[in-house]
Structure 1
Amino acid sequence: MKRFQLTALAAASFAVAAPAMAQTSTTNVTLYGVIDAGVAYVNNVASGLNAKGAHNFQAVSGIGQGNRWGLKGSEDLGGGLKAVFVLENGFNLMNGTLLQNSRMFGRQAYVGLQSAQAGSVTIGRQYDSVVDFVSPLTSAKQWATQYGAHIGDIDNLYNSFRISNSVKYTSANYGGFSFGALYGFSNEPNTGNGTGFSHNNAFSVGASYANGPLSAAAGYMHLASPGTANGNGAVSNDYASATDIFYTGTVDKHDIAAAGIAYQIQAATIGFVYSYAKINYANQSSIRVNTFELNGKYQISPNLLGGLAFVYSDGSVSGATALSGITKGTKPRWFQINAGTTYAFSKRTETYLNGVYQRATGDAVVAAIDNVGGPTGTGAQSQIAVIAGVRHKF
């Protein structure tokens, strides 16, 4: 990370209006980013549900870790209080375009106050509590790349969407324990006909504990009407990937609960993550998915890491005809294996090789490895993705 200081001199008129205030202020600003690219192979990939599939060799951007550049800063206000901000952009390295629905700072954009004793309050576009606390325990966020995310990222543990218009509290660290909560406003007036304040709003809560070899976390999030026409709400136009198969219908409510635990034994770490996600659609159909992930990683040498994970997703559908492109009945299931290695050339530069196998079982009719370009084509129920990539952090 490149660190520099910006010194703002108070204007003469401001000095006259407030003579007791200091004439200079210093903001510490950090420029940071991630540049990630690779080459991938995927079989049985189609452009969308019920389309013909084929294999694909492709150059890919940000699969190991999302490409970004950002500015974050703080100003010491005295008494242990700081002003803080983050502006973080997401981009496609292969063509230079903006991500997160072409937002300038679509990954994160917030400002707030932070106290070493009481925690922080921030306002803007931010991650929810499930992402903040539970997501770091998944294999996808540690080493398995975005391809290792759970089916359709229905539990948002790979943060397919952020929360706009949000106010967020994050506690300080109290002996390894921390917690937080977030509320995302709909920014819509109450019209008296069932829309308004809760028309595309969101809230979440979460907590984590880390002490020695043990880490644990839990979180919950509720989205109200995220699929509505309220484009200025908490979640707007973020269900963008062709492999986000559960968002093809208009979503009325979306609930996510997740928890995870990890324990390190010398060079090895074993972890378990559970998530429950339920989507109610505007046409009165719904789907519930319970996902279980067992993951492990081993530090083979100071530079080389290996990992393996098994993921099982058990679905239950009401109104199956509305989800005919996903399941032929009420009990879709998916099984997935993530395997990979990461080699660090330095603290900032590393290369990785990962493979993911996913199979649709039970009543599920398609597999859909996250962000590979699409679900499996007609008649195919398994998918394989392999990626070799390089990543640099600054």
Structure 2
Amino acid sequence: MKKAALALSILAASTSAAWAQSSVTIYGIVDAAVRLSTNAGATAATNGESITSVVPGGMSQSRLGFNITEDMGGGLKAIANMEHRFNSDTGAASAADFWRQSWVGLQSSEWGRVTIGRQYNVLFDAYTPTYSSFRYSPYIEAFKPEVGFSLGARNDNMVKYLIEVGGFRAEAQVSAGEGNATTVGANGKSMGGLLRYATGEFAAAGAYLQLEDTAGKNVKGWTVGGSWSSGPWYVNASWGRNEFETGFNPTLNITLLGSIAGALTTKTPVATGGAGDERDIYMAGFTYQMTPQWNLGLEYWHTKQDGLGASTAADGKTDSLAFVADYAFSKRTDAYLEIDGTKVGGNLMFANGASKRQNYMIGLRHRF
């Protein structure tokens, strides 16, 4: 009995020592806002109506996440992440995929990091840390055209490799199709890469991603841009493009178009709705930290779509401008006022027939 007790004591001590090298961090955001949208009636007959709603994330999508790290010695770590997105206004999951991120990997101080699972793609990884809309809050969750060009932002079944040397970062991703390309977040096979360089006040990045649907048709995405940060100032500028192979899943094509500035369609009905051969986005803006509590930001987006083949029925453009004033009560809690507007031109229009829309939003966010 004494030997058994001693063995159990040694096992408990060794287990405790192993656990002491591991950490689990729980993090999250709860964000809710009141948003007024003009020209937002459901039909052409009522498209001049304004609609007021409570949105489950004005500046950030509400989420609950877990970061797991185990230090295995010799500069090697096991890492994992699970992140759930939810609607703060109803408590419901924000999407069918309960875990918006779910990956596991290994990280070495010598050879970089390998992660496997559902995770952000290389286009999103270029935009977010390098030239996203605002420094203190990468995007306006309720209005983020550049994320619409990130081809779903996340991909399933992904293997991603990342390495950083000095100011350089390189990433490569591949994912298995597994016969699933019916939603933007499960876009079939993928392959892509990213290069980023940051030094002092400047950062620049470029990325390429190719996705394949179940019919073997491709969409290709590019982005390149940079930012300058100095004291209270942050300035960003970038370009992005999506090119669709003829026959690419039209449902995904139209979904990606709608993620740019809301539900868009064509003035003259075409066989594939609002689908286009290629889209470009140009964006530029700045953030100014007026005081330790006040951040002011302004961002402009211009997008252009060329229609399918020789047809001009889906040709069009959008011009959007957004202003944000954010006040930090503390390091974790802030309130914000946001105004954005979009004008649609060419053969594109909002789904209700409107050609322009203004949005006004005031909200509260807590991060932990």
What range describes the TM-score normalised by the shorter chain of this pair? 0.7 to 0.9
Q: Aligned equivalents of 1:209 and 1:179: distance in 2?
A: 9
| Counterpart position of 2:259 | none
1:109, 1:125 within 8 Å by CA — same for their partners in 2? yes
| Counterpart position of 2:174 | 183
* Aligned AA (1:340): V
Matches within 5 A, 1:219-238: 219-225=207-213
Which structure dedicates a bigger proportion of its chain to helix? 2
SS in 2 for 1:131: helix
SS in 1 for 2:142: helix
Q: How many residues are aligned here?
A: 323
Q: Normalization by structure 2: what TM-score?
A: 0.80
Q: Aligned equivalents of 1:47 and 1:83: distance in 2?
A: 49
1:38, 1:59 within 8 Å by CA — same for their partners in 2? yes
Matches within 5 A, 1:46-85: 46-47=41-42, 52-53=46-47, 54-85=49-80
Larger CA deviation: 262-271 vs 307-316: 262-271
| Counterpart position of 1:339 | 323
| Counterpart position of 1:32 | 27
Q: 1:169 aligns with which of 138, 161, 166?
A: 161
1:118 shift after superposition: 1.6
Matches within 5 A, 1:264-279: 264-279=229-244
Residue-by-residue CA offset, 1:58-78 (whole Å, 9 max, x unaligned): 011123111111111111111
Q: Aligned equivalents of 1:143 and 1:338: distance in 2?
A: 13
Matches within 5 A, 1:40-189: 40-47=35-42, 52-53=46-47, 54-101=49-96, 103-105=97-99, 107-136=100-129, 137-139=131-133, 142=137, 145-150=140-145, 153-156=147-150, 160-172=152-164, 174-188=165-179
Residue-by-residue CA offset, 1:169-224 (whole Å, 9 max, x unaligned): 1113x2221111111111249xxxxxxxxx92112211222211101111111110
RMSD: 2.9
Report whether the alignment pairs 1:253 with 2:234.
no
1:306, 1:341 within 8 Å by CA — same for their partners in 2? yes
1:204, 1:222 within 8 Å by CA — same for their partners in 2? yes
SS in 2 for 1:132: helix
Residues 96/223 of structure 1: CA separation in 2 closer, same or farther (3 Å cut): same
Report whether the alignment pairs 1:295 with 2:293.
no
* Aligned AA (2:232): A
1:259 shift after superposition: 1.2
| Counterpart position of 1:206 | 194
1:144, 1:340 within 8 Å by CA — same for their partners in 2? no
| Counterpart position of 1:196 | none
1:45 shift after superposition: 2.0
Residue-by-residue CA offset, 1:104-126 (whole Å, 9 max, x unaligned): 31x21011101122211011110
Q: Aligned equivalents of 1:114 and 1:320: distance in 2?
A: 49
SS in 2 for 1:210: strand
SS in 1 for 2:298: strand
Identity of aligned residues (%): 26
Report whether the alignment pairs 1:217 with 2:205.
yes
| Counterpart position of 1:388 | 362
1:120, 1:170 within 8 Å by CA — same for their partners in 2? yes
SS in 1 for 2:58: coil
1:134 shift after superposition: 1.9
Matches within 5 A, 1:14-25: 23=15, 25=18
1:147, 1:356 within 8 Å by CA — same for their partners in 2? no
Gaps of 5+ in 1: 1-11, 190-198, 229-250, 322-327, 367-374
1:329 shift after superposition: 2.8
Residues 144/69 of structure 1: CA separation in 2 closer, same or farther (3 Å cut): closer
**Once superposed, which parts of structure 1, at least 4 consecutive aligned residues long, lie more than 6 Å away?**
none
Q: Aligned equivalents of 2:102 and 2:201: distance in 1?
A: 33
2:188, 2:211 within 8 Å by CA — same for their partners in 1? yes
Q: Aligned equivalents of 2:140 and 2:227: distance in 1?
A: 18
Q: Normalization by structure 1: what TM-score?
A: 0.75
1:266 shift after superposition: 3.1
1:262 shift after superposition: 0.7
Q: Aligned equivalents of 1:358 and 1:258: distance in 2?
A: 22
Q: Aligned equivalents of 2:171 and 2:67: distance in 1?
A: 20
Matches within 5 A, 1:296-335: 296-319=286-309, 329-335=313-319
* Aligned AA (1:352): Y
1:177, 1:207 within 8 Å by CA — same for their partners in 2? yes
* Aligned AA (1:201): K
SS in 2 for 1:346: coil
Q: Aligned equivalents of 1:310 and 1:346: distance in 2?
A: 29
Q: Aligned equivalents of 1:254 and 1:46: distance in 2?
A: 32
Between 1 and 2, higher relative CO (CA 8 Å, sep ≥ 6) is seen in: 1
1:341, 1:353 within 8 Å by CA — same for their partners in 2? yes
